[in-house]
Amino acid sequence: MDDMMNDPYYNDEYAETEFTEEKKFSWRIINWIIAIVLFPFWSMAFIIVSGTSFISFGIAFAFVVALVVANLVLRNHKTALNIFRVVTVLAVAAGFIPYVLLMKFENSKMLYTVKKANYIYGVMDNDESYISFLPEKLPEICDDYTFVTIGCLPIPDHVSKSYLKFTTDTDTINNLRDYYTDLGCELRDIDTDPYKDHSLSDYPDVKEEDFYYWFCSRAYLDESIQNDFEHNELYVKKEGDKEKYSKAVLLNPDKGLVVILV
């Protein structure tokens, strides 16, 4: 360093500029990563679960704008600026929470209420019929729990859906039967002709009027459940002209099974 200072061609201003550019280079890389890599994923998440993502992404964007201002105001306060940068990165990451919550945690009963709200308000635009059709809370006896929610995937002929499956006791089954009957659901006659049974490989060829088999395919029920005609009860709440987009619940008192499709 002393040799450099003694060099008649050494320029302090040039050295300081070079050092400053080197320090800023890492943040420049992060900015490009956000712009080129993160933004497309952010946009995709917004499409899939637009309602709740709109709020979280709005908050994240506000932090990004605030960071731009902080870079001007806190330029000489490196510690405060770095803290603000970390908080902004966390806020941007939090913008993906609605998307992650929608697509994951299908076996976590503790997150049922939050996951349900995220689906209803984020995908279904606060539709009252979805609020009433999905249980307000899970029963005390709730085993083999699965709650799958799928948002607005940008692919042809896609329909958003969710299905809830669990096993419970007889009293809960009876209470659910009464609840969905009062909700306006009709008990569907299930075809018991063994020669008309469908297998999983038949699902692409199931006709629209075969609602029972369409329901089984949408809820991914295996054939042992699907062909249990003796105990399965299917309650359907028809909505719109195309019945296959109706809401429905399957009850099987023998297995204690509850399957709700919306």
DSSP string over 44-85: HHHHHTHHHHHHHHHHHHHHHHHHHHHHHHSTT-HHHHHHHH
Total Cβ atoms within 10 A of residue 249: 25
Determine the average pLDDT of the residues in 99-127: 85
Taking all residues of the chain, what is their mean pLDDT, rounded to a whole number? 77
Percent of the chain at pLDDT > 90 equals 24
DSSP letter at 240? S
pLDDT the model gives residue 29: 67
Residue 104 in tokens: 């994951």
Among the listed residues 184, 159, 180, 175, the one whose alpha carbon sits nearest the alpha carbon of residue 238: 184
Are 187 and 240 in contact by the 8 Å Cβ rule? The answer is no
Q: Does the structure show a pLDDT above 50 at 14?
A: no
| C-alpha to C-alpha distance for 53 and 40, rounded to whole angstroms | 14
Q: Report the alpha-carbon angle 71-74-75, nearest 5.
A: 70
* Helices 50-73, 112-122: crossing angle, 10 deg rounding: 90
The pTM is what?
Answer: 0.72
Q: Does the structure show a pLDDT above 60 at 16?
A: no
Percent of the chain at pLDDT > 70 equals 71
Higher pLDDT, 236 or 56: 236
Q: Does the structure show a pLDDT above 60 at 60?
A: yes
Please state the φ and ψ torsions of residue 44, each to the nearest 5 degrees: -65, -45
CA 149 to each of CA 11, 53, 137: distance values in angstroms, whole numbers, following the listed order: 63, 15, 16
